[in-house]
Structure 1
Amino acid sequence: MTRLGYQIPNFTYPGIAADQLFDTVVAQAREADASGFDTVLVMDHFYQLPILGTPDEPMIEAYTLLSALAQHTSKVRLSALVTGNTYRNPTLLAKTVTALDIVSGGRGQLGIGAGWYELEHDSLGYEFGTFTDRFEKLEEALQIILGMLDGKRPSLDGRRYKVSDALNVPAPLSKIPVMIGGGGEKKTLRMVAQYADESNLICAVEDIGRKLDALAAHCEALGRDRSEITVSLQTSACVAPTHDEAVADFEAYLQRNPAAEVRRAGTVVGDPDEVAARFADLLATGVDGVTVNAPANGHVPGRVGLLGQTLAPLIG
C-alpha cells in the first residue's frame, strides 16, 4: 500500500533535451526506489496542468512510461496518480494495469478517478459530460475492472458500459491495490469505502479530519472495516541539503514557470530537518502516509534520494 509515494508530475526540466528526458525520469525513479519510497507514480494526463505549466509542455503517456520504469526499478510499486477513467474503456484499463503488473514482476497498482480536465477532453475528443456522468462512469468501470483483476468474468449491462464475460488472461501476478483519488465526501469517499484499498486525498490540511470522518461513516454504512483502507495525502516538497539551496531551487522554478506561483503556499520548502518537521505535522492529522511530488527540483541529481531519506523515517 502507498504510504510514501513519489509522484513525477512534470517533464519540463531546464537544460534537458528531448533525447535526455527519459533518462532524467529514470534517475528520479531509481533514487525513489533506493531511498525509502514504496511507490512511484506519474500523472495520467496528455496536457500539462495549469498549476504546473502550459498545455504544450511535455507530457508522457502514463502506462507506457510506468512499464518502462518497471525495467529500471526493483522494489517500488508503480501507479498512475490517478488514471482518468474517461480516457480508456474499463476493459482496456484492466488489461493495461495487468500488463504493468506482469512486466514489473507484481508491482502494478491502479490509481483511478472520475476525470476532471475539461480542456484535455475537448481538445482530444474524449467525452467530458457532466459531473454526474463522470461519476456514474467511474462506478460502472470499477465494477468491471475489479472483476477482471480478481480473475472473474464480469458482465454488465450498465447505462455507461456494456460487457459480457470479460476475460483477463493472463491474470495479474498479485492482488493489485486500487487507489481512488480525490476528496469528495459524498461520492468519491463512498466509492473508496465500497471498492478501494487506498484513498489519496487532495484537500487542505484543515479539511483532513472531516474527510476521514466522512470515509469512516461510509465504511460503517457499508459494513466495511475502515482499518482496511490506507489513506494518503497529496503533497509537494522542495528539499535540499541547506535551507538556502532549497529556497534557491524553488525560486528558480517559479522564475522559469510563473504559472506555478499558486503552488508556493502549498509546497514544503527547506532543508531535511525543516521538511521532516512539516511532514511530521501532516502525518499527525490522521492520514497513514503521503504522496509527494517535487516539480521544482526532482530532476536535480540527489534531490529525490534526499527527500526519501528525509521522509521514510517518519513512516512507521
Structure 2
Amino acid sequence: MTSRPVRIGVQVQPQHASYEKIRASVLELEQLGVDILFNWDHFFPLSGDPDGLHFEAWTELASWAELTTRVEFGTLVNCNSYRNPDLQADMARTIDHISGKGTGTGRFIFGTGSGWFERDYDEYGYEFGTAGQRLDALAEALPRIESRWQKLNPAPSRDIPILIGGAGEKKTLRIVAKHADIWHSFVSADDLPRKLDILREHGESVGRDVSEIELSNEPRRKDLRIADQLREQGVTLFTLGISGPDYDTRVVKEWLAWRDTQNA
C-alpha cells in the first residue's frame, strides 16, 4: 500500500445553482477540510434539466483562486478540444499565480482529458471527430503545454500537477504514463489491478516509473466499503461529486471522517 496520505476531493458541479450558491459551497467545503475542489469543463448540465443554470469552468476557477486560501483546485477535467494548448498553459499559469497570494506557491491542479460531451462541441462550433482523434489531439497538446510553461514570464510558481482522466488501455493510459502526476478514473476495485498492470507496461515503454503517479478514483456509489477496497489497491485520492441547487455536504463529512482515520 502506498505511503501517500488519503485525500478527499469534491467536484462542485457548476449546474442548477446561482454563482452565489456555488461560492458559498466552495467556502463551506474549504472550511470543512476538503483537500481538493474540482469543477467540470462543460457548457451545459450533465444531469437534470439539460438547459438549466450552468457556468463555465476556467473563469470560475480564477474566482476560486482568489476566494480560497488552502485547498488545491482544478477542473475534473478540462476538455483539451476547447482551447489552444498554449493558451491552456498560460491560463493555468495565471490561475496558479492568483492562488499563490500570500505564499508565493500556487494551488492549481491541471486536470485534463480528451473530451466526450457531443452537445458542447455541436453548440459551440468545435469539431467532434472520433474518440481516437480527440485522444491523439490530447497527446499532441500536452508537450506543447509543458513546453509553454517553460517559456512563460513569470513561470508557474511550482511544477503544476497534471491530472489526466480516463481509463482507455491503448491510448489514454499511455498518455497517463508519460505525463500524469495524478491518474483519475471510475475503475472498480476488481478491475484496477489489471489496469495498473497495463499502466506499468506503458511506463516501461516510455521510461517512466508509474509508482510516482497518484491514483485518484470516483466510486460510482458513495460507499465507504468500496473506498476501503480501492484503498487496498493503492488509491489515495477519492472524489465525490455534488450538484446544485443544494450542494448537500453530508456525505462529504462522512468521507472526511474516514480520511482522518486512514491518515491517523
Superposition TM-score, scaled by structure 2 size: 0.87
Answer whether contact 2:77 2:164 (CA < 8 A) is retained: yes
| 1:35 maps to which of 26, 32, 35 | 32
| 2:81 maps to which of 83, 86, 94 | 86
CA–CA distance in structure 2, aligned partners of residues 307 and 27 of structure 1? 20
Aligned residue number for residue 134 of structure 1: 134
Answer whether contact 2:240 2:252 (CA < 8 A) is retained: no
Tell me the alpha carbon deviations over residues 58-99 of structure 1, each in whole angstroms, 9 at most, x when there is no partner.
Answer: 221111111111222111111000000000000111111111
Answer whether contact 2:178 2:208 (CA < 8 A) is retained: yes
Closer/same/farther in 2, CA of residues 132 and 117 from structure 1, 3 Å limit: same
- Tell me which structure has the larger Cα radius of gyration: 1
Alignment of 1:9-158 (within 5 A): 9-13=13-17, 21-49=18-46, 52-105=47-100, 106-149=106-149, 151-152=150-151
More divergent stretch after superposition (118-127 vs 53-62): 53-62
Closer/same/farther in 2, CA of residues 297 and 307 from structure 1, 3 Å limit: farther
The amino acid that maps onto 1:37 is V
Question: What secondary structure is seen at the aligned counterpart in 1 of 2:190?
Answer: helix
Closer/same/farther in 2, CA of residues 305 and 285 from structure 1, 3 Å limit: closer
Structure number with greater CO (CA < 8 Å, separation at least 6) is 2
Aligned residue number for residue 3 of structure 1: 7
Aligned residue number for residue 238 of structure 1: none
Closer/same/farther in 2, CA of residues 314 and 117 from structure 1, 3 Å limit: farther
What is the deviation of 1:132?
2.3
CA–CA distance in structure 2, aligned partners of residues 183 and 79 of structure 1? 19
Answer whether contact 1:230 1:288 (CA < 8 A) is retained: yes
Question: What secondary structure is seen at the aligned counterpart in 1 of 2:208?
Answer: coil
Provide structure 1 residue ranges, at least 5 long, that are not aligned to the other structure: 14-20, 153-167, 236-265, 269-274
Q: Is residue 218 of structure 1 aligned with residue 166 of structure 2?
A: no
The amino acid that maps onto 2:62 is S
Aligned residue number for residue 189 of structure 1: 173
Aligned residue number for residue 238 of structure 2: 290
How many pairs are equivalent? 254
Aligned residue number for residue 256 of structure 1: none
Aligned residue number for residue 157 of structure 1: none
CA–CA distance in structure 2, aligned partners of residues 98 and 132 of structure 1? 28
Aligned residue number for residue 164 of structure 2: 180
The amino acid that maps onto 1:78 is F
Aligned residue number for residue 221 of structure 2: 267
What is the deviation of 1:203?
2.7
Provide structure 2 residue ranges, at least 5 long, that are not aligned to the other structure: 101-105
Answer whether contact 2:163 2:182 (CA < 8 A) is retained: yes
Tell me the alpha carbon deviations over residues 111-164 of structure 1, each in whole angstroms, 9 at most, x when there is no partner.
Answer: 010111112101210111122221121111101001112x14xxxxxxxxxxxx
CA–CA distance in structure 1, aligned partners of residues 221 and 8 of structure 2? 16
What is the deviation of 1:175?
1.2
More divergent stretch after superposition (79-88 vs 287-296): 287-296
The amino acid that maps onto 1:9 is Q
Aligned residue number for residue 17 of structure 1: none
CA–CA distance in structure 2, aligned partners of residues 189 and 315 of structure 1? 28
RMSD: 2.2
